[in-house]
């Protein structure tokens, strides 16, 4: 019998990854991640979000328009042979809803990231992106606002969450493992 990951496991174990093996992710798998997004909550059930899937054959075209690891760039950036093998571009269709879709994006992206993690696929949610260049490169019509880009691949590094001490800045240790400081419950419950 197949063992499934619990939702709690996925939430507590999924972390951002920025270095990937070059194994291709099947298109059907990426399409299934978009299906998970389609099931996310949407304000007034308007469902203004659309998605563009970029597979391995076109992934190299996306890479130059993304900023990766602000706190530890360029060391934390994927190097040649570590790049994502797929992307999903999260779009807001402004013909459906002009504004107020940001919460929808958060819910749909979380569904995608957790769904990917369950399948052994690592991810990085990128908001520091060159929207005009991405729109031009991938022929995305003006009516779509590019909210963010999700990068995918099979992991080639490890990332762990830890309690925040002095700083929220993520870092890599001497073994190249990512450490992601998270605020404690005492800090966030008021």
Residue 24: both structure tokens together: 């291709």
Q: Range of 89's domain? A: 7-157
CA 74 to chain centroid, in Å, comes to: 19
Q: Is residue 169 part of a domain?
A: no
Beta bridge partners of 52: 89
Asked if 103 and 163 count as a contact pair (C-beta separation under 8 A), the reply is no
pLDDT at 70: 84
pLDDT tens-digit readout, 123-170: 999 999 999 999 999 999 999 999 999 999 999 998 888 888 888 888
pLDDT at 3: 67
The full length of the chain comes to 190
pLDDT at 178: 84
**Long-range contacts formed by 161-167: CB under 8 A, 24+ apart:** 161/12, 161/15
pLDDT at 160: 85
What whole-number distance in Å separates Cα of residue 159 and Cα of residue 177? Answer: 6
Asked if 181 and 170 count as a contact pair (C-beta separation under 8 A), the reply is yes
Q: Is residue 132 part of a domain?
A: yes
Q: Is residue 183 part of a domain?
A: no
Query: What is the domain count for the chain?
Result: 1
> Strands of 159-163's sheet, edge to edge?
159-163, 178-182, 171-172
Secondary structure class of 8 (helix, strand, coil): helix
What whole-number distance in Å separates Cα of residue 19 and Cα of residue 32? Answer: 23
Q: Is residue 20 part of a domain?
A: yes
CATH of the domain at 92: 3.40.109.10
Beta bridge partners of 117: none
Flag residues of the chain having pLDDT under 70. 1-3
Residues 6+ apart with CB under 8 A from 105: 49, 90, 92, 147, 148
């Amino acid at each position: 019998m197949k063992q499934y990951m619990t939702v709690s496991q996925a939430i507590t174990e999924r972390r951002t990854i920025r270095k990937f093996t070059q194994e291709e992710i099947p298109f059907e798998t990426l399409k299934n991640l978009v299906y998970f997004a389609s099931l996310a909550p949407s304000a007034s059930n308007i469902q203004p979000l659309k998605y563009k899937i970029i597979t391995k054959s076109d992934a190299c075209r996306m890479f130059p328009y993304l900023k990766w690891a602000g706190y530890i760039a360029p060391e934390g950036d994927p190097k040649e042979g570590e790049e994502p093998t797929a992307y999903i571009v999260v779009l807001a269709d402004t013909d459906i809803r002009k504004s107020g879709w940001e919460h929808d994006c958060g819910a749909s992206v979380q569904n995608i990231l957790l769904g990917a993690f369950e399948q052994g696929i690592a991810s990085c949610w990128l908001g520091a992106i060159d929207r005009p260049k991405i729109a031009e490169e991938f022929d995305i019509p003006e009516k779509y606002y590019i909210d963010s880009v999700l990068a995918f691949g099979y992991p080639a590094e490890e990332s762990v969450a830890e309690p925040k001490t002095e700083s929220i800045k993520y870092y890599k240790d001497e073994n190249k493992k990512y450490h992601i400081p998270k605020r404690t419950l005492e800090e966030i419950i008021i």
